[in-house]
């Protein structure tokens, strides 16, 4: 009888019995992770952005390189440079930007950079992708824009040489 309980985790919020190794309760969606997993992202301190959203930690980026900074959600303050032509975002572990939350689709959005222009495109997600609180299928980004993917709010910043 004791061996059966080792393979299960009880939700601290609703008491639902979940299989071991899951991150969220299958009944209420509450996070079951009680400690930071080995795959956690190292987070550097980030200065609060000014009203125009342009300054975040005095980051020097090459001309045309965009950066996503997590402003709300797990790993707040994490930075993801958009150095590739195409950057995938989602809950799938193979995503370039891995956002581990049930509100994020496995393949949620794609950031495409061509020249000095970065576009975000929803990849058929359930909860949608938002830019400055407007649901989009595709949108061209400007430095300081807020991109919402699930419960995550990300600030998009462009290199200082813009």
- Provide the pLDDT for residue 46: 52
Instruction: Name the band, by pLDDT with cuts 50, 70 and 90, for residue 33.
Output: confident
- Provide the pLDDT for residue 69: 93
Q: Is the pLDDT of residue 24 over 90?
A: no
Among the listed ranges 55-69, 75-89, 116-130, which one has the minimum average pLDDT value? 55-69
By DSSP bridging, strand 97-98 and strand 86-90 are: parallel
Tell me which residue of 73, 76, 63 sits closest to 118, measured CA to CA.
63
pLDDT digits (tens, 9 = 90+) for 83-133: 889 999 999 999 999 999 999 999 999 999 998 889 999 999 999 999 999
**Gyration radius of the chain over CA positions:** 18
State residue 115 phi and psi, 5-degree precision: 65, -125
Q: Which residue has the tokens 């008491």?
A: 15
Q: Is the pLDDT of residue 8 over 70?
A: yes
- Provide the pLDDT for residue 10: 79
Tell me which residue of 70, 24, 16, 23 sits closest to 43, measured CA to CA.
70
- Provide the pLDDT for residue 61: 65
Instruction: Name the H helices within the chain.
Output: 2-6
Tell me which residue of 147, 82, 156, 71 sits closest to 108, measured CA to CA.
147
| Cα separation, 139 vs 61, whole angstroms | 22
This prediction's pTM: 0.62
- Provide the pLDDT for residue 116: 84
């Amino acid at each position: 009888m004791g061996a059966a309980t080792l393979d299960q985790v009880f939700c601290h919020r609703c008491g639902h019995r979940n299989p071991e190794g899951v991150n969220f309760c299958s009944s209420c969606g509450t996070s079951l992770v009680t400690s930071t997993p080995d795959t956690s992202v190292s987070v550097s301190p980030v200065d609060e952005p000014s009203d125009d959203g342009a300054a975040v930690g005095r980051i020097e980026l090459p001309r045309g390189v965009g950066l996503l900074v997590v402003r709300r959600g797990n790993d707040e303050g994490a930075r993801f440079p958009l150095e590739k032509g195409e950057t995938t975002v989602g809950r799938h572990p193979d995503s370039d930007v891995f956002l581990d939350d049930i509100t994020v689709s496995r393949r949620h959005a794609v950031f495409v950079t061509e020249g000095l222009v970065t576009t975000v495109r929803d990849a058929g997600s359930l909860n949608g992708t938002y830019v400055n609180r407007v649901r989009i299928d595709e949108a061209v980004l400007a430095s300081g824009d807020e991109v919402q993917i699930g419960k995550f709010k990300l600030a998009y910043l462009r290199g200082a040489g813009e």
